[in-house]
Amino acid sequence: MHQSPGLLQPRLLARLRRSFLGNPRNHRNYYSTRAPGAESPLSTPAELTHVDPQSGRLNMVDVSDKPPTRRQALARGQVLLHDRKAFEAVQRQAIRKGDVLTVGQVAGIQGAKLTAQLIPLCHPIALTDIQVQLRLNEADLAVELESSTMCAAEKTGVEMEALTAVAVAGLTVIDMCKSVARGATLTNVRVVYKTGGRSGTYQEASALPEQPL
């Protein structure tokens, strides 16, 4: 029977799985990029909440003992179209797939709701509000992206939901425009504000003068 050269034969695949999974050392080496006994130059093991400091294995953080608090996050990003004709097509709603900004907004909201399914170690949380806004920036031939997420009482933050909303909205803009803006890039996705939880409030200094979209 013809078999694609890119696929491993079942017996070989099974042997590789036994060889890898059967040895606990392999788990440590696979999940950790640090040499045995070496400290990370960026962070101590205790600071990496998703990594077991002893084995280096990944784990989902137990938040059972954390008190629920009101949490909010604001994230921003940008899609650079790099092309004036493409920008003007978006502006005139002349893109063949439809209204780029509206579809991107809906996609961002959906992305925020699906964050725990997309990010492996992210906790599912009950969002009480999701706002996604897109606007055109003619000076940069770009689409500006912004998302705010909120939950009334949760044990973990909503930053990843805000970031995912921005990322999914941006990727949707690129998908909508790829026929006219092949070099479009999603860039500068980051949290600019968060509040709630043990770490308190964070605000990006460069974002202070800027008003929400």
Q: Which residues are catalytic?
A: 175
Burial zone of 176 (CB within 10 Å; 0-12 exposed, 13-18 middle, 19+ buried): buried
- Nearest Cα neighbor of 87 from 133, 132, 136, 145 is 136
Helix axes of 24-31 and 10-21: crossing angle, nearest 10 degrees? 90
Q: What is the largest CA-CA distance in the chain?
A: 66
**Degrees to nearest 5, angle at CA 124 with 112 and 159:** 50
The residues that bridge with 142 in the sheet, in sequence order, are 80, 137
- Nearest Cα neighbor of 140 from 182, 100, 187, 177 is 187
Please, which residues have CB within 8 angstroms of residue 130's CB and are 6 or more apart in sequence?
A: 109, 112, 113, 147, 148, 149, 150, 161, 165
Q: How far apart are CA 96 and CA 147, in angstroms?
A: 26
